């Protein structure tokens, strides 16, 4: 049977409502004004007085016409105990000396049609109009995807692969993850190849990575490569304030997926509903847990050959329920780490497509100056550079725009309106100069890329240190050199001015935190040994660190404080030693900063031209290994250790 178009149905409903309204208004406007009424005794008095010409009786109602000019008409309700109206009329006329024959008297039988029509118009028609209006409002609400009319319906957005062509060519910097997911594509394209060998298609793939590493983009690329429909939904869209809504939406989503198989269902931020059960305030009856239970049931209920793959993404795998992680549900876990130098270069090449670049742009240099950047960070960097070029009325994006965009992303926008006195300018110059000089002299510190006293964000100035290579391990000596460089600004203030300022508060905080991690987490204290001290308690339901459980005695706590203090004191002493020995370079750098405000890496190295170039990281260790007869690759970038923990930025403690 051919379906009636929705637009036609809506038009028919509107036409019926309009006709009903017209009929109702017409019945109200065309209904005659009812005649006035009088008492039965008053009617008999007028008969006696001779002012009545005709009387028509209909059941218990009399319609009386008078002798006035023009004739007047009124109605009289006959009392129920009276049955002989005509006899009363004759008696009244005779008592007044009137001839009863001069009064016309007739009876009209009641057919009830008028009352029925009146009842229909006055009662049923308004009900029909209200009902039709309600139906029209419901249809309109459903047409607008009103949530109040579709509580249990899935909010997943369906993308057709042909209309949204995202492939692996659009994803860069995650080559290992692409190789893992290429097998999923093969499963979807050629399932018979695997079924012939008894292999089962994986039910779920869990993408784990820091925000911005390309989890969503990679999932869409899998759907584009396989050429299958792609359902996308966020974990937070399952749960509402009404009990059972989340589970209903899960059922609806999986039913849609089965109808459109083969397909991919992508659940972003699955930790919103997949957190460990029993941790919520509502216990096992928590709405979030009911939603999770339904997801587990649906994933178990997939029949063989449905060819529906669930891809989920999260940056908090530690809070997920173990039932989600077992084989048979999320069979594979794919790690998306922050890209290395090669990966960042590949990502930049993807994002520069369609952007007019100046011939001076060196993408490799940009990739080298952006360690720890995720794919989203690099995309934002390219966009900021394009915005700056447009602001400057340029037709191409040059290297100057990229350098400024790097500074904006890493340190914030310039605050040129901030007024700084000459005295404060000198303090800031020596402060940043202290960081830079100590960082240049100490072997394990990263090379200085820029020193500036221009205010950006919350900082009055900053020193930018960029690593020459991607590193995933850091040593105790490297941490000690970094702490000394962090304290270099505070030590320089004390050395030059004999006083310190609040400008070093953030440096001291970072140095203290790093020193405490060295003692309590990394086992880098000879006094306390290779132990982990303190355990961080987490509220799984909230997903945040709330407190640290003290699993050591007060005596050990005192030793921890003493060790942290000793590390900080050694770092300050080393910084003072370096700055005292290189006071002339510190003064020259401060004068240059006061005059030019910014000193780039090449100009900064010019102040140390009489010293040998800064060795690459781990150069001493590599030389020692080669002297011992251990083969080490020629390129320092090839001598990388094992990968860091997921999400740990390069050059930062894992």
Q: Is the pLDDT of residue 343 over 60?
A: yes
Give the per-residue pLDDT at 574: 95
| Of 392, 476, 472, 401, nearest in space to 642 by CA | 472
Per mean pLDDT, which range of 142-146, 234-238, 248-252, 368-372 is the poorest?
142-146
Q: Assign 562 a pLDDT band (cuts: 50, 70, 90).
A: very high
Q: What DSSP character marks residue 206?
A: E
Residue in 225, 298, 384, 432 annotated catalytic: 432
Comparison of pLDDT for 617 and 212, the residue scoring more:
212
Q: Is the pLDDT of residue 147 over 70?
A: no
Query: What does the pLDDT look like over 466-507, one tens digit per residue?
Result: 877 777 788 898 999 999 999 999 999 999 999 999 888 999
Give the per-residue pLDDT at 637: 38
Give the per-residue pLDDT at 32: 57
Mean pLDDT of 108-130: 60
Query: What does the pLDDT look like over 596-639, one tens digit per residue?
Result: 888 988 888 888 888 887 766 556 656 666 676 676 665 433 43
CA–CA dist 518, 521 (Å, integer): 6
DSSP-H helix ranges across 487-582: 488-497, 505-520, 554-581
Give the per-residue pLDDT at 184: 82
Query: What does the pLDDT look like over 371-383, one tens digit per residue?
Result: 888 888 898 999 9
Give the per-residue pLDDT at 187: 82
DSSP-H helix ranges across 552-653: 554-581, 583-596, 601-606, 619-627
Q: Is the pLDDT of residue 169 over 60?
A: yes
Give the per-residue pLDDT at 646: 32
Give the per-residue pLDDT at 540: 44
Q: Assign 156 a pLDDT band (cuts: 50, 70, 90).
A: low
Comparison of pLDDT for 325 and 108, the residue scoring more:
325
Mean pLDDT of 28-47: 71
CA 557 to chain centre: 41
Comparison of pLDDT for 644 and 122, the residue scoring more:
122
Q: Is the pLDDT of residue 218 over 70?
A: yes
Q: Is the pLDDT of residue 354 over 50?
A: yes
Query: What does the pLDDT look like over 536-558, one tens digit per residue?
Result: 655 444 444 445 667 788 888 89
Average predicted confidence (pLDDT) for the chain:
77
Query: In a 10 Å sphere around its CB, with 0-12 CB exposed, 13-18 middle and 19+ buried, how is residue 522 labelled?
Result: middle
DSSP-H helix ranges across 339-421: 341-351, 363-368, 375-391, 399-411
Residue 605: active-site member: no
Per mean pLDDT, which range of 25-34, 282-291, 335-344 is the poorest?
25-34
Q: What percent of the chain has pLDDT over 90?
A: 15
Q: Assign 567 a pLDDT band (cuts: 50, 70, 90).
A: very high
Mean pLDDT of 565-586: 94
C-beta of residue 604 within 8 angstroms of C-beta of residue 435: no
At 392, is the secondary structure helix, strand, or coil? Answer: coil
């Amino acid at each position: 049977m051919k379906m009636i178009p929705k637009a036609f149905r809506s038009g028919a409903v509107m036409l019926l409502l309009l006709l009903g309204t017209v009929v109702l208004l017409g019945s109200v406007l065309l209904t005659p004004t009812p005649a006035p009424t009088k008492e039965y005794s008053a009617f008999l008095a007028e008969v006696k007085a001779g002012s009545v010409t005709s009387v028509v009786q209909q059941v218990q109602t009399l319609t009386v016409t008078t002798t006035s000019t023009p004739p007047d008409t009124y109605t009289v309700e006959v009392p129920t105990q009276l049955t002989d109206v005509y006899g009363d009329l004759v008696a009244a006329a005779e008592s007044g000396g009137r001839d009863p024959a001069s009064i016309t008297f007739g009876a009209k039988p009641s057919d009830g049609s008028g009352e029925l029509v009146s009842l229909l118009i006055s009662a049923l028609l308004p009900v029909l109009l209200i009902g039709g209006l309600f139906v029209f409002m419901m249809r309109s609400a459903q047409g607008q995807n009103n949530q109040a009319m579709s509580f249990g319906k899935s909010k997943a957005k369906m993308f057709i692969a042909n209309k949204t062509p995202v492939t692996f060519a659009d994803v860069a910097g995650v080559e290992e993850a692409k190789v893992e997911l290429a097998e999923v594509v093969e499963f979807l394209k050629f399932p018979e190849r695997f079924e012939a060998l008894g292999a089962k298609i994986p039910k779920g793939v869990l993408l784990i990575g820091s925000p911005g590493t390309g989890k969503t983009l990679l999932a869409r690329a899998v759907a584009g490569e396989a050429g299958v429909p792609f359902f996308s939904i966020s974990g937070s869209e399952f749960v509402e304030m009404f009990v059972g809504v989340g589970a209903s939406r899960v059922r609806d989503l999986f039913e849609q997926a089965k109808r459109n198989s083969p397909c991919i269902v992508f659940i972003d931020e699955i930790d919103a509903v997949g957190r460990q059960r029993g941790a919520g305030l509502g216990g096992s009856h928590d709405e979030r847990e009911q939603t999770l239970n339904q997801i587990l049931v649906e994933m178990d209920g997939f029949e063989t050959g449905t060819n529906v793959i669930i891809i989920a993404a999260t940056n908090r795998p530690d809070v997920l329920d173990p039932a989600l992680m077992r084989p048979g549900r999320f069979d594979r876990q794919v790690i998306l780490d922050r890209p290395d130098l090669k990966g960042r270069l590949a990502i930049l090449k993807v994002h520069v497509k369609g952007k007019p670049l100046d011939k001076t742009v060196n993408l490799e240099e940009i990739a080298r100056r952006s360690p720890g950047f995720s794919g989203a960070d690099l995309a934002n960097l390219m966009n900021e550079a394009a915005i700056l070029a447009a602001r400057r009325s340029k037709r191409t994006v040059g290297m100057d725009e990229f350098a400024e965009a790097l500074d904006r992303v890493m340190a914030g926008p310039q605050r040129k309106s901030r007024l700084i006195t000459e005295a404060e300018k000198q303090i800031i110059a020596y402060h940043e100069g202290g960081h830079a000089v100590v960082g240049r002299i100490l072997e394990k510190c990263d090379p200085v890329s820029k020193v500036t006293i221009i205010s950006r964000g919350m900082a009055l100035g900053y020193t930018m240190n960029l690593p020459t290579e991607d590193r995933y391990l850091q040593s105790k000596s490297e941490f000690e050199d970094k702490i000394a460089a962090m304290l270099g600004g505070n030590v320089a203030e004390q050395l030059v001015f004999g006083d310190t300022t609040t400008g070093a508060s953030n440096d001291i905080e970072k140095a203290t935190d790093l020193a405490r991690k060295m003692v309590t987490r990394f086992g880098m204290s000879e006094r306390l040994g290779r132990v982990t001290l303190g355990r961080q308690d987490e509220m799984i339901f909230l997903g945040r660190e709330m407190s640290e459980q003290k699993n050591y005695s007060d005596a050990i706590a005192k030793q921890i404080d003493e060790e942290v203090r000793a590390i900080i004191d050694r770092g300050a002493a080393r910084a003072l030693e370096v700055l005292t020995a290189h006071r002339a370079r510190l003064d020259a750098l401060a004068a240059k900063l006061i005059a030019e405000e910014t000193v780039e890496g090449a100009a900064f190295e010019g102040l140390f031209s009489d010293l040998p170039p800064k060795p690459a990281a781990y150069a001493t260790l590599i030389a020692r290994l080669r002297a011992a007869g251990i083969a080490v690759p020629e390129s320092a970038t090839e001598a990388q250790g094992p990968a860091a923990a997921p999400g740990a930025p390069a050059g930062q403690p894992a």
